[in-house]
């Protein structure tokens, strides 16, 4: 059954692309209506269509995914057509974003595009944050796996590792002694060469 409702959205709802989001969502759900900012910081939406789709519209407005975009609808107050408080909706076709003052169609389109850009920025921020979170989780998982593998290797080859380290220490000691021996041989060779040159000069 088709109905029409007036919704007042309270929370962090102005300057975050909410009206553009509401328009895109309404069109996707085949709903008609309009949205405008009110002076008290809330957003007013008139929405028209199938009752179940309007409920889905409201649920999505308050979803966690919407909050991650910076749109935080803390409270929705509603009146169905015929109830006191429903008021008189402004004229609309499809779904219309209404501004505080009358604007030319070209300016209205520009303002709507600006709101869409704000919304796109919020969605990009959400995507980046989710990507960073997933990357961080994968890195943490990889570090955990590597630590487990190194622990297993250390447990399996610990004795071999200690033996190899001991051998390397002995090798370095032997190499140092060999270097010292070579230096002594060089001194002896230099002295022999000097004595041979002296003998030839006599």
* Catalytically active residues, by annotation: 19, 37
As a whole number of angstroms, the distance between CA 115 and CA 128 comes to 20
As a whole number of angstroms, the distance between CA 50 and CA 41 comes to 28
As a whole number of angstroms, the distance between CA 202 and CA 200 comes to 5
Neighbours of 38 (CB within 10 A): 14
CA dihedral of 156, 157, 163, 166, whole degrees rounded to 10: -120
Contact between 67 and 22 (Cβ < 8 Å):
no
φ and ψ at residue 35, rounded to 5 degrees: -140, 140
As a whole number of angstroms, the distance between CA 98 and CA 36 comes to 5
As a whole number of angstroms, the distance between CA 127 and CA 58 comes to 23
Candidates 20, 9, 12, 26; CA nearest to 121 is 20
Contact between 13 and 73 (Cβ < 8 Å):
yes
């Amino acid at each position: 059954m088709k109905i029409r409702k007036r919704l007042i959205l309270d929370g962090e709802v102005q300057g975050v692309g909410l009206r553009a989001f509401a328009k895109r969502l309404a069109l996707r759900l085949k709903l008609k209506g309009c949205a405008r900012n009110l002076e008290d910081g809330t957003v007013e939406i008139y929405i028209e269509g199938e009752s179940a789709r309007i409920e889905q519209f409201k649920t999505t407005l308050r979803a966690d995914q919407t909050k991650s975009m910076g749109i935080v609808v803390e409270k929705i107050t509603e009146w169905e057509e015929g109830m006191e408080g429903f008021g008189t909706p402004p004229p609309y076709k499809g779904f219309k974003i209404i501004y505080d003052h009358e604007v030319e169609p070209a300016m209205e389109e520009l303002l709507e595009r600006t709101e869409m850009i704000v919304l796109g920025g919020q969605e990009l921020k959400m995507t980046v944050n989710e990507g960073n979170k997933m990357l961080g989780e994968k890195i943490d998982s990889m570090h955990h796996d590597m630590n487990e593998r190194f622990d297993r290797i250390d447990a399996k080859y610990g004795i071999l590792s200690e033996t190899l380290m001991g051998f390397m220490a002995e090798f370095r000691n032997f190499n140092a002694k060999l270097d010292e021996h070579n230096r002594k041989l060089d001194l002896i060779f230099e002295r022999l060469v000097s004595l041979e040159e002296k003998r030839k000069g006599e």
